[in-house]
């Protein structure tokens, strides 16, 4: 029989974006890196991706795929985009402020850009959407990058000054602040694996960045609270669900403990006492083997080849309950250009979140990643995460079918179990 899974009253429903990925026209360390690396990335795509991915997304072999450029032109079209989000019954929205626009030179703040973001926040409020404002989604102003970027011991000081200014300017209309987006993605991709700028493979740099980013968060937390006592401040934390590849193996279980410590717990513990809520971002389920690293079976995958395993969110939520703080899911999404798996993905995720809530986990909101198709960092434009499809030639917006299904969930503050069953079939395929 059809049953409705109801969510708590006041639950926040929405989607996320980040400045560099959708605004267009940014100038930061990523834009510089893109210019230098586009040709290499286009060449490497030919051997990196599987043949089904290459034939489905031939644009991955072109240089322009790797240049953020106009992105989704959201800087100029945010009102139109928020009209769409409102029409989809979202009552909250997460976005990020581009620090390099606000402070293009050390200590010089651009009033025109501050006004721009005032406009963004007002546009959300006018449409009845609660703004979740992220202060740093990986992009640094160039002057800061020259000083060593995230590795610089001055990073926390400069970040806190910028956070204080943002709280002074917008504290009257913003309740929820996210300081740093996914410190672990930065530590791993920029400083350990050497994939993202500044492409280091150096464990002492990585350890230093645990320090600078956690310090930056704590300082910003204090500055924001000094301005707005009632503000709610957190950071966006990517957490992965780790399981032992061989459940009976002592060493594989030990590898899980190590991965959990460095990946999920360490940064959280370093910021203890400086979080008003936890912001969970979930994409990965990893089966860890002591000798073989990560060995995933990847049965049902996204266009990026990432395994779909929404149950992982449930286990992570149960663990996070132990921190005794309200939890928001500030990102969860998939690249799915054909929009065949998105409805099932969302519905299945919400089923697991609902189960966690029923078992006492204080989850207060869900933000799908992403509202719009966007620039997916070193992968460029081909992965399509959006509820809304972007035509990058005309900049036209087209609401995907899954966005309408999600809109019904938002409207009802609940999920019909038959959509979940229907959609589970699609996932199983
Ligand atoms: C990031 C987003 C990114 C998404 C999908 C998250 O880790 O915060 O910027 O687009 O994952 O890869």
Spacing, Cα 184 to ligand 1 middle (Å) = 12
Does the annotation mark 331 as catalytic?
yes
Q: How far apart are CA 104 and CA 100, in angstroms?
A: 5
- Mean pLDDT over 385-412 rounds to 98
How many CA atoms are closer than 13 Å to the CA of 164, on its beta-carbon side?
Answer: 13
Give the pLDDT band (50/70/90) at residue 294: confident
| Residue 5 near residue 52 (C-beta atoms within 8 A) | no
pLDDT tens digits for range 207-231: 999 999 999 999 999 999 999 999 9
In this model, does residue 194 exceed pLDDT 50?
yes
Spacing, Cα 215 to ligand 1 middle (Å) = 23
In this model, does residue 62 exceed pLDDT 50?
yes
- Mean pLDDT over 15-21 rounds to 99
Task: Round the CA-based radius of gyration of the chain to a whole number and report it.
Answer: 20
- Predicted pLDDT of residue 2: 66
Which of 236, 280, 377 most suits a substitution to test ligand 1, by most atoms within 8 Å of the C-beta? 377
Does the annotation mark 182 as catalytic?
yes
| Residue 219 near residue 160 (C-beta atoms within 8 A) | yes
- Predicted pLDDT of residue 429: 43
Among 286-290, 413-417, 418-422, whose mean pLDDT is lowest? 418-422
- Mean pLDDT over 408-422 rounds to 83
Q: Quote the percentage of the chain above a pLDDT of 90.
A: 94
- Looking at every residue in the chain, the average pLDDT score rounds to 96
Spacing, Cα 20 to ligand 1 middle (Å) = 11
Question: Hey, what are 106's tokens?
Answer: 């050390």
Give the pLDDT band (50/70/90) at residue 298: confident
- Mean pLDDT over 327-341 rounds to 98
Spacing, Cα 94 to ligand 1 middle (Å) = 13
Give the pLDDT band (50/70/90) at residue 427: low
Between CA 204 and CA 206, with CA 205 as vertex, the angle to 5 degrees is 90
Among 134-138, 291-295, 325-329, whose mean pLDDT is lowest? 291-295
Question: Looking at ligand 1, which atom is closest to the CA of residue 304?
Answer: 12
Residue 304: CB within 6 Å of ligand 1? no
- Predicted pLDDT of residue 296: 77
- Predicted pLDDT of residue 295: 78
CA dihedral 353, 355, 361, 367 (to 10 degrees): 10
Residue 100: CB within 6 Å of ligand 1? no
Residue 49: CB within 6 Å of ligand 1? no
Phi and psi (nearest 5°) for 354? -60, -40
Q: Which of 331, 376, 405, 420 is catalytic?
A: 331
pLDDT tens digits for range 347-396: 999 999 999 999 999 999 999 999 999 999 999 999 999 999 999 999 99
Q: Which of 34, 103, 145, 182 is catalytic?
A: 182
User: Which of 411, 298, 316, 309 is CA-nearest to residue 355?
Assistant: 316
- Predicted pLDDT of residue 425: 55
pTM greater than 0.85: yes
The count of other CB atoms within 10 Å of the CB of residue 205 is 18
Pairing state between β 285-289 and 363-369: unpaired
pLDDT tens digits for range 145-159: 999 999 999 999 999
In this model, does residue 422 exceed pLDDT 70?
no
In this model, does residue 423 exceed pLDDT 60?
no
Question: Looking at ligand 1, which atom is closest to the CA of residue 385?
Answer: 5
Please give the C-alpha separations between residue 237 and each of 74, 179, 327, 328, in angstroms, as whole numbers: 25, 11, 11, 10
Question: Looking at ligand 1, which atom is closest to the CA of residue 18?
Answer: 9
pLDDT tens digits for range 66-124: 999 999 999 999 999 999 999 999 999 999 999 999 999 999 999 999 999 999 999 99
| Residue 282 near residue 312 (C-beta atoms within 8 A) | yes
Spacing, Cα 17 to ligand 1 middle (Å) = 9
Three-state secondary structure call for residue 243:
strand
In this model, does residue 428 exceed pLDDT 60?
no
In this model, does residue 1 exceed pLDDT 70?
no
Using CA positions, which residue lies closest to atom 5 of ligand 1?
376
Long-range contacts of 149-155 (CB under 8 A, 24+ apart): 149/29, 149/198, 150/186, 150/190, 150/191, 150/209, 150/212, 150/213, 151/191, 151/205, 151/208, 151/209, 151/212, 152/212, 153/212, 155/212, 155/213, 155/215, 155/216
Residue 18: CB within 6 Å of ligand 1? yes
Give the pLDDT band (50/70/90) at residue 60: very high
């Amino acid at each position: 029989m059809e049953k409705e899974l109801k969510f708590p009253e006041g639950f926040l429903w929405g989607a996320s974006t980040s400045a560099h990925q959708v605004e267009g026209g940014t100038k930061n360390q990523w834009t510089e890196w893109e210019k230098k690396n586009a040709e290499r990335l286009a060449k490497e795509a030919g051997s990196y991706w599987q043949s089904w991915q290459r034939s489905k997304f031939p644009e991955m072999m072109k240089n322009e795929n790797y240049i953020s450029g106009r992105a989704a032109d959201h800087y100029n079209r945010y009102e139109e985009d928020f009209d769409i989000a409102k029409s989809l019954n979202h009552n909250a929205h997460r976005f990020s402020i581009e620090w390099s626009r606000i402070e293009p030179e050390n200590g010089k703040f651009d009033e025109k850009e501050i006004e721009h973001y005032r406009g963004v926040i007002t546009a959300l409020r006018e449409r009845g959407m609660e703004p979740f404002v992220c202060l740093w989604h990986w992009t640094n102003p160039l002057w800061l990058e020259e000083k060593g970027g995230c590795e610089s011991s001055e990073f926390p000081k400069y970040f806190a000054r910028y956070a204080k200014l943002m709280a002074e300017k917008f504290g009257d209309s913003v309740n929820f602040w996210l300081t740093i987006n996914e410190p672990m993605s930065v530590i791993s991709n920029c400083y350990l694996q050497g994939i993202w700028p500044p492409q280091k493979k150096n464990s002492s740099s990585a350890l230093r960045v645990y320090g600078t980013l956690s310090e930056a968060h704590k300082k910003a937390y204090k500055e924001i609270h000094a301005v707005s006592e009632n503000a709610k401040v957190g950071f966006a934390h990517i957490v992965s669900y780790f399981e032992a590849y061989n459940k009976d193996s002592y060493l594989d279980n030990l590898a899980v403990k190590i991965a959990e410590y460095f990946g999920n717990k360490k940064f959280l513990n370093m910021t203890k006492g400086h979080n008003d809520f936890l912001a969970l971002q979930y994409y990965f389920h990893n089966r860890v083997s002591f000798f073989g690293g990560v060995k995933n079976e990847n049965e049902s995958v996204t266009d990026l080849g990432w395994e779909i395993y929404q149950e992982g969110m449930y286990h992570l939520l149960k663990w996070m309950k132990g921190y005794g703080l309200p939890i928001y899911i500030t990102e969860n999404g998939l690249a799915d250009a054909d929009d065949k798996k998105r409805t099932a993905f969302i519905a299945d995720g919400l089923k697991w979140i609902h189960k966690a809530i029923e078992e006492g986990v204080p989850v207060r909101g869900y933000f799908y990643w992403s509202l719009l198709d966007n620039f997916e960092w070193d992968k460029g434009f081909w992965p399509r995460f959006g509820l809304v499809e972007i035509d990058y030639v005309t900049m036209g917006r087209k609401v995907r079918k899954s966005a309408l299904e999600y809109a019904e969930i938002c409207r009802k503050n609940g999920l019909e179990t038959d959509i979940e069953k229907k959609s589970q079939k699609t996932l199983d395929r």
